[in-house]
Amino acid sequence: MKPRKIWLTINGADRMLVCDPENDYLAQVLRRIGLTSVKIGCDTGVCGSCSVILNGKLVRSCARKIKKVEEYSRITTLEGIGTPDNLHPLQVAWMNHGAVQCGFCAPGFIVSAYALLLQNDNPTREEVRGWFQKHRNVCRCTGYKQLVDAVMAAARVVRGEATIEEISYTPPEDNECYGKPLVRPAALAKVTGLADYGEDMALKMPPETLHVAVVQPRVAHHAKILKINTEEALNMPGVVKVITHADIKANGGTNQMAEANLHERSTVTLPSRKILCDEKIFRYGDVVALAIAHTPAQARAAAAKVVVDVEPLPEYLNFLDAVMPDAIRVHEDTPNLFCYQPVLKGDALEDAEKIPEILDDSACSVEGSFYSSREPHLSIEGCTVQAYFDEEDCLTFQCKSQGLYTSISRIGASLGVPMDKLRIVDNFNGASFGWSTNAGDLCLAGAAAVAVNGPVALSLSYEEHQHFSGKRCPSYSNGRVACDEKGRITAAEFDVGLDHGAYSWGGDHVMEKPVRFSFFPYNVPHVAGLCRVANTNHTFGTAYRSYGSPQAYTMSEALMDMLAEKMGIDPFEFRWINIARPGDTNINSHVFKDYPMQEMMEKLRPHYETAVADAKAADTPEKRRGVGLAWGGFNVTEGGTDQCTVILELDAEDRILKFDTWQDLGQGGDVGSLMVTLEALKPMGVTPDRIRLCQNDTKICPDSGMSAASRSHYMNGHATRMAAEKLMAAMQKPDGTYRTYAQMKAEDIDTRFEATYTCTVDPTITRLDPNTGVGDPTPAFTYVLNMAEVEVDTATGKTTVMRFVCVYDVGKIGNIAAVEGQAYGGISHSIGFALSEDYSDVKKHTNIARSGVPYIKDIPDQIVLIACENAREDGPFGSSGASEAFQSSGHVALINAIYNACGVRIFDLPALPEKVKAGLDLLAAGNTITPPKKYFLGSDLYEELENIKANPVKFRGHDMFEFLGEGEGARFY
């Protein structure tokens, strides 16, 4: 390397830099001098997070080599557009129009929008969308609509048609904040580029910090490891250590990530996942060694020199191959098909074989087999972790985690560090949508920190992250449903196989979702269903928003449309006939928690009637138009084991300190915590400026549980109410006024109160019976009703979403901007799931673009959200949960709309243009499109149900809990 000195005019000032002209990219150089608003996400120029203005033109700086940048070039980054005390209208609009969620993409979008407004300060919405499309700006959180709203608002200020105050939200004078769009506390740092995300923290670590690179052999999906050759890597410049599984064990670790298989029918006896593989590679993204060096480049160069000798083994890359009778075991301790859960209702509880009889005797029935894909999360920020031993000698992780205390339990004894000496701190982070519920990246960084007894920074490239992180479980399903002559459902049967990939952790949990959410929320009197989960040699299954329910709706909502068509009943009217009404039970034989279904359909009806008329009017042979529907919903909380602890403290300045671990992955953990605290302390008249959030550090915060299962608002709200009652009782004087901190101390009254809310306070909560599927595992639900309008190009098969309407019920809304943000984002993910997203080809699906991430023109600007606010009697302040319902079933509304438009039903996701075109060609040739042949999922459905009946297992139910007392929660066995 021969360094080059270069002068650049950055944000108006001339600055001298020294660069490597051959290897440095503009983004790296800008970040190195502290301009960390410039984010590097994809590192391949396809996400726009690194956008800067170079000599008047918007460029993606991660793809611009410094040698291509002329001396004295003018560069503008977000830092040059606005500061916290001198904000640009775009930054204000981003904060006040719900455009900030995780915030990782915000600097790139604001710079991009700034460049647009320099050229055109009066753009139309379509011009804004066209600009973001052209410049490859991707947002994975918002669904784009709120971003366009923000640009349009800011443009009014730029043109002098509005003031900053007019585009800002001001809290109401009466302090009735609940439900209002209060700005997120972290928004200011995010829109000014001052929020330090993972790689920003890595740049700001102490100088002795070493850097870690992973060795992912990528030679096979399944292989026996013969030898790991590290000699050449150890001799590379700057290398401190190259560690393997042997080093972890030498330091007292087990090298085994902790797992808990809770289901009574699980056959797993041993933890399935190693930190660093020792004897076998189980999937393409497995890591076998870590190279630790003084610089990231040195670590990567060393990692590339590690050679792994392997002996290939049979590879099973899908559920169907893995469960064949002659398949070898992926893990020696368990059959590949390692768990299953039945659901029986009505006559099936007595004899499952009665269901085929009911189906056969009904007026009409339909059946089909369906596949849902291995959907990748595609967060723009991937895996990045810093690990070090802190001042109390705790192994500390600065990271992205959706469950700080859960991460500690998953690390367990794997590193040889006692669990009480593990500390987890959430960085600002660029979203997750579920993949960061797994602590695999923390274990890698921790192993390196232990090996060198010092601070380290681990960073995976986006391709490494793609192969390393988990994905949504693919599903194979067979289903059949029937109705009487009036269109009322008589019975249903279904059989679902979930591909959980290489590792089993969580498989027995996700497996319970299809047997809860198939045919939700309809009244189905008789049901026989089964869900099975198996290991394969593909990437492992992990949490993803609406965990496990999209697989159910893929089958059941398609069958509802198919049955409606066969009966000659409009799909809206068919659903109207069959929605559950008060007293009706779900397929687990329990009453629905709420019955907003009729109200929701009444709200959608005029939109549906208009959409059908518009589609008919716009339909042409070249551009076919159609409308599709899908009901959906999801549970709230993790069930009987769920608990949440928070602390409220009055400080010396008479502020209220709130301590919790409401992990904010972009969904709004900060503003959610603020909202419930304001509402809980409303009798005291507490205003937002008096609340200080102290969040997401296990050293100072109690365990508030995971940011998952749509649980956070529900659980944290209850716990906060309990803590607030204790604090207000202590502060209240006999005359009804409240003491100050000084008065509390003078009277020797405690100023700090902790409270724990646990779901075990609800005696109706029972896990699903492992023999029948009867049960009521969670205390609340959310509901959505989706309508999609699409246009299909008959020449290419490409589907364009024209409009999307979502009617939803999440109980009383806590913060309308946050809830709508989750809705827009969930809908955009649903569109991607339906039309483009996939991680099946490990050689192809290496970045967000190649994996099918939706850009702005793939998402309609017309997304209509209609709230049904039915306050929950048992919810905190009337609220339920939010987020996950919005991604449960929207994809099937699109699939149904494609069929309505052109007669092509897609049975295996995603509905790529070539699939739709192939269907159109079949129809044009006079052929019909039939469902795939019934999938073989390991045995016949009724054979398996009979086997379960003959071999029942004990239902643990409430025997799993030991109550510890009021406010203490419960111990789980």
What does the alpha-carbon distance between residue 553 and residue 571 come to, in Å, rounded to a whole number? 15
884 is catalytic: yes
Could you check whether the bond before residue 521 is cis, i.e. omega within 30 degrees of 0?
Answer: yes
Q: Which two tokens mark 443?
A: 């274990």
Q: How buried is residue 730: exposed, middle or buried, by Cβ count under 10 Å (0-12/13-18/19+)? A: middle
CB 636 within 8 A of CB 779: yes
Cα–Cα distances in angstroms (integers) from residue 259 to residues 411, 440, 506, 959, in the given order = 9, 12, 8, 21
Q: Please report how many Cα atoms fall inside a 13 Å half-sphere around the Cα of residue 316, on the Cβ side.
A: 24
- Side chain identity at 302, as an amino acid letter? A
CA nearest neighbour of 658 among 646, 667, 641, 666: 646
Cβ–Cβ contacts within 10 Å for residue 609, how many? Answer: 13
Measure Cα distances from 397 to 190, 426, 464, 706 in Å. Answer: 22, 8, 20, 17
Are 116 and 123 in contact, with CB atoms under 8 Å apart? yes
Compute CA 709 distance to the chain's CA centroid, rounded to the nearest angstrom.
10
Helix or strand run (H / E) with residue 19: strand 13-19
- Contact call for residues 299 and 293 (beta carbons, < 8 A): yes
As beta bridge partners, residue 634 has: 782
Question: How far, in Å, CA of 844 to CA of 840, rounded?
Answer: 8
Token pair listed for 380: 């723009």
Q: Please return the burial class of 732, using the count of CB atoms within 10 Å of its CB with bins 0-12, 13-18 and 19+.
A: middle
CB 639 within 8 A of CB 654: no
Q: DSSP letters along 404-470, please?
A: HHHHHHHHTTTTSS-GGGEEEEEPP----TTGGGS-HHHHHHHHHHHHHTS-EEEE--HHHHHHHS-
For residue 749, what are the CA distances in angstroms to 511, 666, 685?
A: 49, 38, 21
- Pairing type for strands 74-76 and 4-10 reads parallel
Cα atoms in the 13 Å half-sphere on the side-chain side of 265: 29
Q: What angle do CA 760, 761, 762 make, to 5 degrees?
A: 85
Distance CA 261, CA 511 (A): 12
| Strands (DSSP E) found in 55-112 | 57-60, 74-76
- CA-to-CA separations, 711 to 404, 452, 520, 827, 963, in angstroms, rounded: 15, 39, 20, 20, 21
**Which H or E element spans position 365?**
strand 364-372
Amino acid at 336: N
Q: How far apart are CA 774 and CA 786, in angstroms?
A: 28
> Helix and strand tally (H, E) in the chain?
27, 30
Length of the chain, in residues? 973
Strands of the 223-229 sheet, one edge to the other: 280-281, 223-229, 307-312
Query: In degrees rounded to 5, what are phi and psi of residue 299?
Result: -65, -40
Candidates 284, 472, 464; CA nearest to 375 is: 472
- Active-site hit among 638, 884, 943, 944: 884
In angstroms and rounded to an integer, the radius of gyration of the C-alpha atoms of the chain is: 28
Distance of CA 22 to the CA centre of its chain: 38
Known catalytic residues? 884
